[in-house]
Amino acid sequence: MDTAPHSLRASPAPLIRDSSAPRTGPPLWRDESLLRVRAGVYTVRSEWEALPPWERYLVRVHAFALARADAVFSHESAAALLGLPIFGHPRAIHIFDGRRSRSVTYGDVAVHTSADARTTCSWAGIRLSVVEDVVIDLVRVLPPALGVAVADAALRSFELEGRRLIDGAAAQRNAFGARRAQWALSRATPLAESPGESISRAVIEWCGLPTPALQTEHHVDGRIYRSDFCWPEQRVIGEIDGWVKYSNTDATAAANAVRAEKRREDALRRRGWRVARWDYAGALGVDGLRNALHAAGLRPVRRAEVAALASVGRNPRSTGPV
């Protein structure tokens, strides 16, 4: 398998090095329009402040790459470069160094090592762990629902083999997080089209609700509609709203999206389907998802896993909202 990514995500804000072209104005550290991201590396303050937390993190990763050209990125840092889901603003820059006898942390940098052989790849001068290792590393340490979202995204975007990930995780000598990794990887699927869908699937399981069918096609009035989640026996459809299509800067396009969604839902209801809707926050908070499905008539078939539900929406490895 080709372990190199097709491309890496660029920094979403410009980066300026202290040693770059001569300036006629004040030194960078005195320029209030700039923000120091790392020693000797600055970005435009207004552009930084407009970014969501996970994009600010990607700027930090690129700044570290400028400062340390020999770095091999791993964990969330590699995930950010690869375009895999990032939850909140990760506290540390994560790099891998197989020459060390143990992992260490200094400042905001976590240096990881492993007793197992590792493969790295390079793109445009930036080195990082291969995608398979990034996924396995993250599902061992992230809260389980977030780990599933990372694994789903990797299967979807990089066409990885789920069995290969499971076997790779099981073969690692370090047992830390092994059960968590196996739980997430055994449930991973490329059918999930967003982190919200992945997290919703974990919440549905932990609420004790029946297992849904994913991305089911419904043929209604000569049209084909696809549902995120479907329980055919209960005639229930579950949908997680992605608000981007409704909050588009093009007001006409947003209104058309709302009308199309209403027509679709009306057509499904005429065929006897009950449609439950929730959003990303409803999945993270559990109650929004659970209440919507209960209102549609779906009932638990086993006891809820209270401790697992309490972990949804929390990520101790990051600051800011998940």
pLDDT digits (tens, 9 = 90+) for 45-63: 999 999 999 999 999 999 9
What pLDDT is stored for residue 1 in this prediction?
42
Tokens coding 137:
């590393």
**At residue 117, what is the residue type?**
A
Over residues 225-234, the mean pLDDT reads: 95
Residues of the chain above pLDDT 90, percent? 75
Nearest to 9 by CA among 72, 45, 59: 59
Residues of the chain above pLDDT 70, percent? 90
Over residues 206-212, the mean pLDDT reads: 98
Cα 147 to Cα 62, 167, 186: the distances in Å are 24, 16, 11
pLDDT at 244 over 70: no
What pLDDT is stored for residue 13 in this prediction?
98
Q: 74: helix, coil or strand?
A: coil
Entry pTM: 0.90
pLDDT at 321 over 60: yes
pLDDT at 75 over 70: yes
Contacts of 138 (CB under 8 A, 6+ apart): 75, 76, 79, 84, 147, 150
Supply φ then ψ for residue 196, to 5 degrees.
-60, -40
pLDDT at 115 over 50: yes
Q: Strands (DSSP E) along the chain, which ranges?
A: 15-17, 34-38, 41-44, 72-73, 89-90, 93-96, 104-106, 109-112, 120-123, 126-129, 213-220, 223-231, 236-241, 274-279, 318-319
pLDDT at 24 over 90: no
What pLDDT is stored for residue 262 in this prediction?
76
What pLDDT is stored for residue 296 in this prediction?
97
